[in-house]
Amino acid sequence: MATLLTRTLGAALVLSSLVSASPVPALLSRQSTDAADLSACPGYKASNVKTSDTGLTASLSLAGTACNAYGTDLTDLTLTVEYQTNERLHVKIQDAGNQVYQVPASVFDRPSSSGNCSASSADLIFNYIESPFSFTVLRRSTNETLFDTSAASLIFESQYVRLRTSLPASPSLYGLGEHTDPFMLNTTNYTRTIWNRDAYLIPPGTNLYGDHPVYFDHRGANGTHGVFLLNSDGMNIVIDDTAGQYLEYNTLGGVLDFYFMSGPSPVQVAQQYSEVVGKSAMMPYWGFGFHQCRYGMQDVYEVAEVVANYSLANIPLETMWTVRRTAAIRVSDHDG
């Protein structure tokens, strides 16, 4: 399932860059991510807030003159907050017109709400400030702030979405795969690019084959929580401490569809994440056997000869893989 998810998100990534760009005439230069370009962006103002036992909805409107840094600012957004389970909070900011690309339910089935979770008892607390709009997520048991978007104004444009959260100093962050960087992520001057890539020889410091825009924030005795952004557009996630410690999403489009998971243990975060993205497939029985693979097999006859040679040598071979030139071939089981 994990592999399938990676593949479908990869396909959706290509699709989304076509669809979400549709309101804009031409692709603009995006060489610069200089903050100076974005300082004039006005942020949003919340209104029409409707709260219920299980969450809230609100309208967000552009709070000033559009900055149109990369494409055009969307003037009207909607905010939806759902306490889906005691451990999972769903926060979604999207265009009011519902035209911007979202990963379709056909490739990513959304988790359902338990239906009996209330704002007053959930592990996580959602708070917001109306103007300029920002929100926080707190852990109820410790009242610790886990996520706080007041660190920079929200930007929601046709070709660019930015949301920044402040974090404690030197946070212990993991995830945002797939990449070859250290397991614990760097927290200064660090950009994690999420863009599927066949990185030949998997060099250090690069993005790889899968998209997993989820991070685990480990806060020692205070617990671990997870933050998943369900967005398949290409993105840079910047982690730095130049304006206090922060983590900033910069996407090429799509919507801000967050799932916050309360843990509090890392294993529980992983379990709660699997309830959102789906469980991993069971390893097939034959997958436990001996596999052989070599790049550059000339043809199917060479592969057959290798298989035959395993048999001649009485070496059990469960699976034979080939790279590129010939399709993967699974050979029949050996008696032993």
Ligand X SMILES: *[C@@H]1O[C@H](CO)[C@@H](O)[C@H](O)[C@H]1NC(C)=O
Q: Which of 90, 212, 219, 225 binds ligand X (CB under 6 A)?
A: 219
Say how many residues touch ligand X, by CB under 6 A. Answer: 21
Q: Is residue 114 close enough to count as binding ligand X by CB under 6 A?
A: yes
Q: Is residue 39 close enough to count as binding ligand X by CB under 6 A?
A: no
Q: Is residue 212 close enough to count as binding ligand X by CB under 6 A?
A: no
Q: Which of 78, 80, 99, 186 binds ligand X (CB under 6 A)?
A: 186
Q: Which is nearer to ligand X, 168 or 289 (CB)?
A: 168
Q: Is residue 280 close enough to count as binding ligand X by CB under 6 A?
A: no
Q: Is residue 302 close enough to count as binding ligand X by CB under 6 A?
A: yes
Instruction: Count the helices and strands in the chain (H runs, E runs).
Output: 4, 18
Contact 257, 82 (CB under 8 A): no
In angstroms, give the least distance from the CB of 79 to ligand X.
19
Cα separation, 109 vs 309, whole angstroms: 46
Cα separation, 8 vs 105, whole angstroms: 11
As to burial, measured by CB atoms within 10 angstroms (0-12 exposed, 13-18 middle, 19+ buried), residue 313 is exposed
Q: Is residue 142 close enough to count as binding ligand X by CB under 6 A?
A: yes
Q: Which is nearer to ligand X, 223 or 253 (CB)?
A: 223
**Which distant-in-sequence residues (6+ apart) come within 8 Å of 149 by Cβ?**
134, 135, 136, 163, 164, 165
Q: Is residue 199 close enough to count as binding ligand X by CB under 6 A?
A: no
As to burial, measured by CB atoms within 10 angstroms (0-12 exposed, 13-18 middle, 19+ buried), residue 323 is exposed
3-state SS string over 197-217?
A: CCCCCCCCCCEEEEEEEEEEE
Q: Is residue 116 close enough to count as binding ligand X by CB under 6 A?
A: yes
Q: Which is nearer to ligand X, 189 or 265 (CB)?
A: 189
Task: Restricting to residues 63-102, name those near ligand X by CB under 6 A.
Answer: none
Please name which of 258, 244, 47, 225 lies closest in space to residue 138, comparing C-alpha atoms: 225
Q: Is residue 150 close enough to count as binding ligand X by CB under 6 A?
A: no
In angstroms, give the least distance from the CB of 143 to ligand X.
4
In angstroms, give the least distance from the CB of 136 to ligand X.
7
Q: What are phi and psi of 333, to 5 degrees?
A: -65, 150
Q: Which of 130, 181, 275, 318 binds ligand X (CB under 6 A)?
A: 181
In angstroms, give the least distance from the CB of 212 to ligand X.
17
Q: How far apart, in Å, are the Cα atoms of 115 and each of 90, 166, 209, 250, 279?
A: 13, 31, 36, 33, 21
Cα separation, 136 vs 148, whole angstroms: 4
Q: Is residue 143 close enough to count as binding ligand X by CB under 6 A?
A: yes
Q: Which of 170, 305, 311, 330 binds ligand X (CB under 6 A)?
A: 305
In angstroms, give the least distance from the CB of 20 to ligand X.
28
In angstroms, give the least distance from the CB of 5 to ligand X.
23
**Which distant-in-sequence residues (6+ apart) come within 8 Å of 317 by Cβ?**
289, 290, 291, 292, 307, 310, 311, 331, 334
Q: Which is nearer to ligand X, 181 or 318 (CB)?
A: 181
| Residue 98, amino acid | N
By CB under 6 A, name the binding residues for ligand X.
114-116, 138, 142-145, 168, 181, 186, 189-190, 205, 219-220, 222, 302, 305-306, 309
